Amino acid sequence: MLKNINLQKISVIGMGLLGASVTMACRRAFPKVFTVGYSHRASTRKKSRQLNVAHQIAQTLEEAVHNADIVILATPILTFETYFKSIAPFLKSGAIVTDVGSTKHLVHQWANKNLPRTVFYVGSHPIAGSEKRGVEYARDDLLTSARCILTHTARTNAHALKILRHFWSELGCNVVTLAPKKHDQIFALISHLPHVLAAALINGSDFEDMKFAGKGFIDTSRIASGPADVWMDIVLTNHHNITLGIDQLVRQLGRMKKAIAAQDAAKVKDLLETARAKREKLIAYKLKKRELL
């Protein structure tokens, strides 16, 4: 449980799949804490009220963040700078501000530039989601067993970091910390690149051919069904690392092509077996960490 803080109100800005799942998980993990959700869309506010995902769905940003102990941005990344500016005047002194964005380096810069010195920013990236979107797909167990990365710099308040570590742990996450630059490098390769790759695979495929697709193709391309606007923001806020990742992948495909074109059986088998063994080692690690359920 949270220690040394009298947590009374948690506000989540953005009632999409992830934002609403956070409010729902908060209600379950912190039954005495007042949870508030906000969406700029009247239709989403209405749906969120109907689905009862938070104690209150605020009409305005001011109402949403007023007196909140923790404010969590769960909107598309490219809206974060504007939201930091908009909520800045209404944040109480000592409030902790975080977000659930998939890139972190730029977000730290925006927070640093736009939030008052009286509040504490820490980056959060819960590795949870789905190719589905919208409050109607929210679940109070979406974060269960998910890894959550907290990002911090030399400026980050240690007490705020500690509180958020407790917060996400109570919501069921395995919390680890990283510097925002390192975070963005890693996620370019293991999250953003696979998305770009899945989209490239689909874009390069003929629809009539795709009708023959089996489970392999369906799984390999699954993340290409994710919301384009959300992923556009991720890609644009991590463009340098992702282009490096594309270059690296193209080099790997070149190695494959060379071995296949030469019909070099030993080399082809070696490349496939190396991948197989490495992935099996990854699955074993993930099962041990209980991150695959």
Restricted to residues 149-188, the positions that interact with a second copy (CB under 8 A) are 149, 186-187
Beta bridge partners of 147: 174
Site for a second copy in 215-234 (CB under 8 A): 215-229, 231-232
The DSSP letter of residue 91 is P
Q: Taking CB under 8 A as the rule, does residue 246 contact a second copy?
A: yes
CB atoms near residue 207 (< 10 Å): 7
- Which of the ranges 32-40, 116-124, 152-160, 193-201 carries the binding residues for a second copy, by CB under 8 A? 193-201
**Closest C-alpha among 8, 53, 57 to residue 36:** 57
- What CA–CA distance (Å, rounded) separates 244 from 231? 17
Q: How far is the CB of 82 from a second copy (least distance, A)?
A: 16
Q: How far is the CB of 119 from a second copy (least distance, A)?
A: 28
Beta bridge partners of 58: 38
Which two structure tokens, joined as six digits, stand for 60?
A: 């305005």
Do 99 and 74 form a contact (C-beta atoms < 8 A)?
Answer: yes
- Which of the ranges 4-12, 36-44, 61-69, 144-152 carries the binding residues for a second copy, by CB under 8 A? 144-152
Q: Helices marked H in the chain — which ranges?
A: 17-29, 42-51, 61-65, 80-87, 105-114, 158-170, 180-187, 193-203, 207-210, 215-220, 228-236, 239-261, 265-288
- What CA–CA distance (Å, rounded) separates 103 from 224? 18
Site for a second copy in 262-291 (CB under 8 A): 263, 265, 268-269, 271-276, 278-283, 285-286
Q: How far is the CB of 166 from a second copy (least distance, A)?
A: 21
Q: How far is the CB of 69 from a second copy (least distance, A)?
A: 28
Q: Which is nearer to a second copy, 32 or 211 (CB)?
A: 211
Q: Which is nearer to a second copy, 158 or 190 (CB)?
A: 190
Q: How far apart are the first and last CA of the chain?
A: 24
Q: How far is the CB of 114 from a second copy (least distance, A)?
A: 21
Q: Which is nearer to a second copy, 49 or 147 (CB)?
A: 147
Q: How far is the CB of 272 from a second copy (least distance, A)?
A: 4
Q: How far is the CB of 286 from a second copy (least distance, A)?
A: 7
Q: Taking CB under 8 A as the rule, does residue 212 contact a second copy?
A: yes
Site for a second copy in 5-64 (CB under 8 A): none
Site for a second copy in 118-137 (CB under 8 A): 127-129
Count residues near a second copy (CB under 8 A): 87
The DSSP letter of residue 117 is T
Question: Considering only residues 52, 116, 248, 287, which one is a binding residue for a second copy as defined by CB under 8 A?
Answer: 248
CA distances, 258 to each of 222, 263, 268 (Å): 28, 9, 9
- What CA–CA distance (Å, rounded) separates 90 from 278? 49
